[in-house]
Chains A and B, each alone.
Chain A
Amino acid sequence: GDSVTQMEGPVTLSEEAFLTINCTYTATGYPSLFWYVQYPGEGLQLLLKATKADDKGSNKGFEATYRKETTSFHLEKGSVQVSDSAVYFCALSLYNFNKFYFGSGTKLNVKP
């Protein structure tokens, strides 16, 4: 079935470190891929998305490239800040009722 697998956390980094959160997917069709971020006590917010193979989504210094050959959508940021501390969810969406499949979430802790 359709699913998303992302690396388990928590991930703890020092400020200005490089971030990678791995995400791979399984899908029967051609999904759109998303990264959402959840700050403490809040709902999920869209961080970035890509709708077709080789697309790169980017926002707030975060990037992810839709890799069809490896079925991956890894999230990267060159220099994290304390304010990036949050839970990050990878998700895919298929045309069928725009149904979303979410990964289990990766908690990121950034220390000053």
Chain B
Amino acid sequence: NAGVTQTPKFRVLKTGQSMTLLCAQDMNHEYMYWYRQDPGMGLRLIHYSVGEGTTAKGEVPDGYNVSRLKKQNFLLGLESAAPSQTSVYFCASSHRTGTTDTQYFGPGTRLTVL
């Protein structure tokens, strides 16, 4: 099992450019999440999905869009990148169980917006 993988690992964008980050998991998890990690702020939830075809906003959704067309994939899009979106982005997934469950994280994507 590869677990949770993220593509790309690094990216540099100019202000106003667009890009899509891909997250894939092979654990048949129902729930998937996108976080951003900034110094001194821990992880903040951008968007999440509780199943194929469904998405919901997290704590900091502005400037991002997501799609979950397939159960194993969760895409994060930036339509018009801004310097404030310079961050490390982590994808995570978990089972849907009767109680809370562990989230499994990908290795992260380091994005710089100039």
Q: How far is the CB of A73 from chain B (nearest CB, A)?
A: 14
Which 7 residue pairs spanning A and B have beta carbons closest together? A43-B105, A93-B100, A32-B100, A104-B42, A102-B43, A44-B105, A102-B42
Q: B111 near A: Cβ within 8 Å?
A: no
Among A89, A97, A102, A104, point to the contact of B56 (Cβ < 8 A): A97
The docked-state distance in angstroms from the alpha carbon of A98 to that of B98 is 10
Question: Chain B contact residues: over half helix, strand or loop, or mixed?
Answer: strand
Q: A43-B90, A43-B108 are in contact. Are A98 and B103 (CB under 8 A)?
A: yes
Q: A51 near B: Cβ within 8 Å?
A: yes
Chain A residues with CB under 8 A of B42 = 89, 102-105
Q: B106 near A: Cβ within 8 Å?
A: yes
Closest to B102 in A: A46
Chain B residues with CB under 8 A of A89 = 42-43
Residue of A44, A89, A95, A98 with most chain B CB atoms under a 10 A cut-off:
A98
Q: B113 near A: Cβ within 8 Å?
A: no
| Contact, CB under 8 Å: A31 / B90 | no
| Contact, CB under 8 Å: A94 / B43 | no
Among A98, A102, A103, A105, point to the contact of B100 (Cβ < 8 A): A98
The docked-state distance in angstroms from the alpha carbon of A99 to that of B43 is 12
- How many residues of chain A have a CB within 8 Å of chain B? 23
| Contact, CB under 8 Å: B105 / A45 | yes
Closest to A9 in B: B40
| Contact, CB under 8 Å: A97 / B31 | yes
Chain A residues with CB under 8 A of B96 = 98
The docked-state distance in angstroms from the alpha carbon of A103 to that of B90 is 15
| Contact, CB under 8 Å: B106 / A43 | yes
Contact string against B for A residues 73-103, beta-carbon threshold 8 Å, 1 for contact and 0 otherwise: 0000000000000000100011101111011
The docked-state distance in angstroms from the alpha carbon of A104 to that of B41 is 5
Among B41, B99, B103, B107, point to the contact of A42 (Cβ < 8 A): B107
